[in-house]
Amino acid sequence: MSTLERPLNSTQSVEQFLKDCLGLDKNITKRRFKKISSDILTEQCKLVLGGKPTLTHEDNRDSKYRDETAREKLRDTILNELFTLKRLDNDDNIILGKGGALPKTAIVSNKQAYFVVGLPASGKSSIVNKIADSYGAIVIDPDYAKRKIPEYKGSPGGANLVHLESGNITLSGKNSLFGKCLRQGYNIVIPKVGNDIEQLRGLRNALLPHGYKIHLTLVELDRINATIRAFNRFKSTKRYVPLSLIFDTYANDPIMLYYKHKSEWDTSGSISTLEPIPERLESSSPTNPAELFPPIKSLPP
């Protein structure tokens, strides 16, 4: 947890955050507000259970996949599914045996890499899906692998427990989805929050020796609206992203990082998701995915 991130570790702290920062007590009954506040507190308490991640510890592993041999087979199975199965319409339906990372269209080997940055709940997934199908790109998203790991839903704090392992399968492991795509020259799209420039540069530097062109696209939504959307998504789906992580830690850093460093990439572009239909704010080249979206409507004089 960042030192700037409020802990949300009590009923009072959760309720004050929802009221004072997001104004979410105004259009909801008191009974419903108390219930959703309690549910958020429960999810926040689960976050402390990620101290022994499944990648490196057996303690919290499902008994069926506890020893290292079984675990390696599980990771190989997940990797193979991601590399051979097409993407589902709804990411929440991904489970072991169902759903992959391939585009709905044919895979294209043009050595194009699309980095899509933006806050959680900003609408990044729908943008990524459109890019994947438009350019024949494989989605390199640890969240896809995360949903296939048994402990993700089978253990309290499962998202934290499997965080390192899902990253190992998709991005950082010796035999990762990222590495398999690079060896084939496949087009790829990588969603990231985009608050860490060195992380993005590291991915870029891994791609450059393979002859990739790298495009950066921002999904622009401010921290207040993104946090409210995360809250509403939790109410309807129970999928939780720590609200203070979005509001305090990530904040508007992805937006600032994009505008400060956009010249470092082969092309750059930004998309606003404030309205129901995404709109292009800017694009440095016709080859940037921002061009897939209509230009933002002119503001009245």
Domain locations in the chain as residue ranges: 54-292
- Give CATH for domain 54-292: 3.40.50.300
Question: pTM for the whole thing?
Answer: 0.94
The DSSP bridge partners found for residue 94 are: none
Name the phi and psi angles at 292, rounded to 5: -75, -10
Supply the DSSP symbol for 291.
G
Nearest CA among 143, 144, 164 for reference residue 51: 164
> Around 286, how many Cα atoms within 13 Å sit in the side-chain half-sphere?
0
pLDDT band at 300 (very low <50, low <70, confident <90, very high): very low
Nearest CA among 241, 227, 221 for reference residue 17: 227
Report whether pLDDT(142) > 70.
Answer: yes
- What does the DSSP assignment read for 128-192? HHHHHHHHT-EE--HHHHHHHSTHHHHSTTHHHHTHHHHHIIIIISTT-HHHHHHHHT--EEEEE
Supply the DSSP symbol for 70.
H
Name the phi and psi angles at 216, rounded to 5: -110, 125
Residues 6+ apart with CB under 8 A from 42: none
| 3-class secondary-structure state, position 274 | coil
Report whether pLDDT(18) > 90.
Answer: yes
pLDDT band at 189 (very low <50, low <70, confident <90, very high): very high
pLDDT band at 3 (very low <50, low <70, confident <90, very high): low
CA distances to 127, 161, 191, 248 from 136, in Å = 14, 32, 15, 35
Cα distance between residue 42 and residue 27, in whole Å: 22
Q: Which residue has the higher pLDDT, 270 or 155?
A: 270
Q: How many CB atoms lie within 10 A of CB 268?
A: 23
pLDDT band at 2 (very low <50, low <70, confident <90, very high): low
pLDDT band at 50 (very low <50, low <70, confident <90, very high): low
Residues 6+ apart with CB under 8 A from 139: 87, 101, 103, 128, 129, 132, 188, 189, 190, 191
Report whether pLDDT(74) > 50.
Answer: yes
Cα distance between residue 77 and residue 88, in whole Å: 18
Chain mean pLDDT for the chain: 94
Report whether pLDDT(248) > 50.
Answer: yes
